[in-house]
Amino acid sequence: MASSAIIFTTLIIISDATAFRPSAAPFSRQSRLLSSDFDFSSKQGWDDFYEDKESKSYEWHASVPHSSISSIVSPMKSDDQLLVLGCGTSSLSADLYDTLKPRKLTSLDYSLACITEMNNRYEDADRENLHFIQGDAKSLNEHFHLNQFTSIVDKGLIDAIMTSDDWDSSIAKILKGASSVLAPGGSYVLVSYNLSKSTKKYLNEMGYFHFTYDLEGSNDRVSISKGIKTTK
Ligand SMILES: C[S@@+](CC[C@H](N)C(=O)[O-])C[C@H]1O[C@@H](n2cnc3c(N)ncnc32)[C@H](O)[C@@H]1O
């Protein structure tokens, strides 16, 4: 366990952390905001990012169409609820809401600037059960009930968490909380930079989800994975 954590950390330092840059077209337009000293693990950093008007609509992993993500999320029954973690200012939440038609879709991000922007963007829209709330993905039990959701979608959150010093305990908190707010059989759809072999093994060994990686819609840079809640 200790050795796999060391390998994982090393891989993150030499691979994932340095690769944590958007590949999409907006990168050139927003490169000033995403300078090399951008700290992806800092709440203040994200607030500063979203307070800039150029970030009012920013799409991470834009090489993956939202239709590829919605097709991986389990179909919604009329009473099902969906949770999007680290929603940012992406249009993914609204696209999933329109396509999958859950009873309610809640999106969470810890940046108040981002949540304010999303509430302004959708306040007049005809999507009454699409909600955006500020909160820390490491404390999901403070915001939600046990077994509340059928599926969780994370596009870029775990990538950001992986750049922090306490990445391992943070990921454990997120996956443990996610598992508890998901109903039995619920799923965690993860859209991330391609994961190393050791990272894939590590996530499954944590025991909260059984992930299947590199699903249809993944490409040479971004991976779509789906974890099914275990009985742990
Ligand atoms: C790489 S961005 C992805 C944004 C969006 N999902 C997208 O695809 O464009 C990561 C997002 O996670 C949020 N975030 C980072 N750590 C968080 C935490 N502990 N709790 C909630 N949100 C967090 C950041 O504010 C940021 O919006």
Mean pLDDT of 26-32: 41
Cβ-based neighbour number of residue 15 at 10 Å:
16
* pLDDT at residue 37 is higher than 80: no
Select the more confidently predicted residue: 4 or 71: 71
How many domains does the structure of the chain reveal? 1
Residue 48 burial (C-beta neighbours within 10 Å; 0-12, 13-18, 19+): middle
Q: What is the pLDDT of residue 16?
A: 43
Q: Which atom of ligand 1 approaches the CA of 136 most closely? A: 20
How many Å separate Cα 74 from the centre of its chain?
16
- Split at pLDDT 50, 70, 90, the class of 35 is low
What was the pLDDT predicted at 95? 97
Whole-number Å distance between alpha carbons of 27 and 21: 8
Chain-centre distance of CA 165, in angstroms?
A: 19
Residue pair 33/61 in contact by the 8 Å Cβ criterion:
no
- Ligand 1 centroid to residue 46 C-alpha, Å: 8
The pLDDT tens digits of the residues spanning 175-230 come to: 999 999 999 999 999 999 999 999 999 999 999 999 999 999 999 999 999 999 99
The pLDDT assigned to 124 comes to: 82
Confidence of residue 165 (pLDDT cuts 50, 70, 90): confident
Q: How far is the CA of 107 from the centre of ligand 1 (A)?
A: 11
Q: Identify residue 145 by its one-letter amino acid code.
A: H
| CATH number, residue 102 | 3.40.50.150
In angstroms, how far is the first alpha carbon of the chain from the final one? 18
Statement: residue 14 has pLDDT above 70:
no
193 lines ligand 1 (CB under 6 A): no
With a 6 Å cutoff on the Cβ, whether 160 touches ligand 1 is yes
- Three-state SS for 162? coil
Q: Which residue has the higher pLDDT, 41 or 174?
A: 174
Which domain, by its residues, includes 117? 2-229
Helices (H), the chain: 2-11, 17-19, 26-29, 43-51, 66-70, 92-100, 112-122, 140-143, 157-161, 167-181, 197-205
Residue of the nearest CA to atom 1 in ligand 1?
156
Q: Locate tokens 């969780």: which residue?
A: 152
- DSSP labels, 87-105: -TT-SHHHHHHHHH--SEE
* Best CA proximity match to 181, nearest among 217, 163, 206, 208: 208
C-beta of 177 in contact with ligand 1 (< 6 A)? no
Express each pLDDT in 127-155 by its tens digit.
999 999 999 999 999 999 999 999 999 99
Give the confidence band of 33 by pLDDT, cuts at 50, 70, 90: low
Measured from the CB, is residue 113 less than 6 Å from ligand 1? no
Is 20's C-beta closer than 6 angstroms to any atom of ligand 1?
A: no
Ligand 1 centroid, distance to 86 Cα (angstroms): 3
Ligand 1 pocket, residue 50 CB under 6 Å = no
Determine whether the shortest distance from the Cβ of 87 to ligand 1 is under 6 A: yes
- Is the distance from the beta carbon of residue 11 to the nearest atom of ligand 1 less than 6 Å? no
